[in-house]
Amino acid sequence: MLMLSIEENLEAQNNGAVHKDHASSKPWRYLVAAMLAGIYIGVADIFMFTAAAPLYAVNSGWAPLVGGAVFGIGLILVIFAGSELITSAMMILPIGLANRRIKWDAAARAFIIMLVGNLLGSILLAALVKGSGVMDHGAVAQMLSHVANLKVHKSAEALIFRGILCNILVCVAVWTQSKTKNEVAKMLIMGWCMALFVTSGFEHVVANMTTLSLGMLHGVAGVTLLGALRNLGFVLIGNIIGGALFIALPYLVIGEKQKA
């Protein structure tokens, strides 16, 4: 069978939640897996800047689309290489909790380790990029300065709603790719969903970890630690709502109706 039914896919997410429970019981190993996810999403974030910056420098309307088109490699690496990403867990953990496959303390443990690990991986990657000097000058530096400044000066309301919209797309990408066994289809689904959220200007907490770390390490004026934490906090709230309430909850409801 090439496609899982909704009930079968819910069971796959339950199994994913159980995996996160068991894996996070070994915190240091799980932290490393989470750091890898931060690095993979961060690499995609940097690819977005380097690919779109030449177009951005000449005010081309194609810049957002080009940036979005290349960003999908981040989620593809997370899924295919194997790592632990906090945003997709915002769908998986609630499904496991709702079906009583995991307990709240296990979900909280996995969530916290993923969040810390994603952040540490993002900071590590940003430090390596700063050391390399590849984003110090030219169009890419100009784009980084502009984007990072926009992120720390958006209103709380905008950050939350953009976070919701972003994680609807991230979680539906993870949900949908797990329904199919075709690897090419998985990559296309994830690539298009990521292109949609990046091109639309939505906010992803892990991608922002890299962008804002790069901004601070490169001395971008106006990008402060307090501003970065404010952005990440509100985007995190939005991402949680998007994954748990807009993807996990509807499919739990649909799955229950189809069982009846």
- pLDDT, tens digit, for every residue of 145-180? 999 999 999 999 999 999 999 999 999 999 999 999
Say whether 3 sits in a helix, a strand or coil.
strand
Banded pLDDT at 259 (limits 50, 70, 90): low
Whether the per-residue pLDDT at 253 is higher than 80: the answer is yes
Average pLDDT over residues 62-81: 97
Measured CA distances, 225 to 14, 123, 217, 231, 236 (Å): 37, 13, 11, 10, 16
Cα gap 62→74, rounded to integer Å: 21
Q: Domain 6-259 has what CATH class? A: mainly alpha
Cα gap 213→125, rounded to integer Å: 9
Q: What is the pLDDT of residue 179?
A: 93
Banded pLDDT at 2 (limits 50, 70, 90): confident
Q: What is the pLDDT of residues 29-56, one digit of tens each?
A: 999 999 999 999 999 999 999 999 999 9
Which residue in 16, 48, 199 sits closest to 114, CA to CA?
16
Helix axes 183-200, 156-177, angle to 10 degrees: 170
* Residue 12 host element (H or E): helix 6-23
Joined tokens for residue 34: 């989470």
Average pLDDT over residues 116-141: 97
| Mean pLDDT value across the chain | 96
* Residue 133 host element (H or E): none
Which residue in 127, 114, 108 sits closest to 38, CA to CA?
114
Average pLDDT over residues 73-91: 98
Whole-model pTM? 0.96
Q: What is the pLDDT of residue 258?
A: 61
Say whether 74 sits in a helix, a strand or coil.
helix
Average pLDDT over residues 234-251: 98
Average pLDDT over residues 185-205: 96
3 forms beta bridges with 180
* Residue 60 host element (H or E): none
Average pLDDT over residues 231-240: 98
Domain range summary for the chain, segments of one domain joined by +: 6-259
Average pLDDT over residues 202-216: 98
Cα gap 73→115, rounded to integer Å: 20
Q: What is the pLDDT of residue 3?
A: 86
Average pLDDT over residues 140-145: 97
Whether the per-residue pLDDT at 1 is higher than 60: the answer is no
Average pLDDT over residues 243-247: 98
The contacts of residue 192 (CB under 8 Å, 6+ apart) are 72
180 forms beta bridges with 3
Whether the per-residue pLDDT at 28 is higher than 90: the answer is yes
Helix axes 225-243, 138-153, angle to 10 degrees: 70
Q: What is the pLDDT of residue 29?
A: 98
Average pLDDT over residues 124-130: 98
Percent over 90 (pLDDT), the chain: 96
Which residue in 23, 123, 39, 115 sits closest to 77, CA to CA?
39
Taking CA 213 as the corner, what is the angle to CA 140 and CA 238, rounded to the nearest 5 degrees?
105
Joined tokens for residue 137: 């000058």
Measured CA distances, 219 to 145, 194, 222 (Å): 9, 28, 9
Joined tokens for residue 4: 């899982």
Q: What is the pLDDT of residue 257?
A: 64
Whether the per-residue pLDDT at 79 is higher than 60: the answer is yes
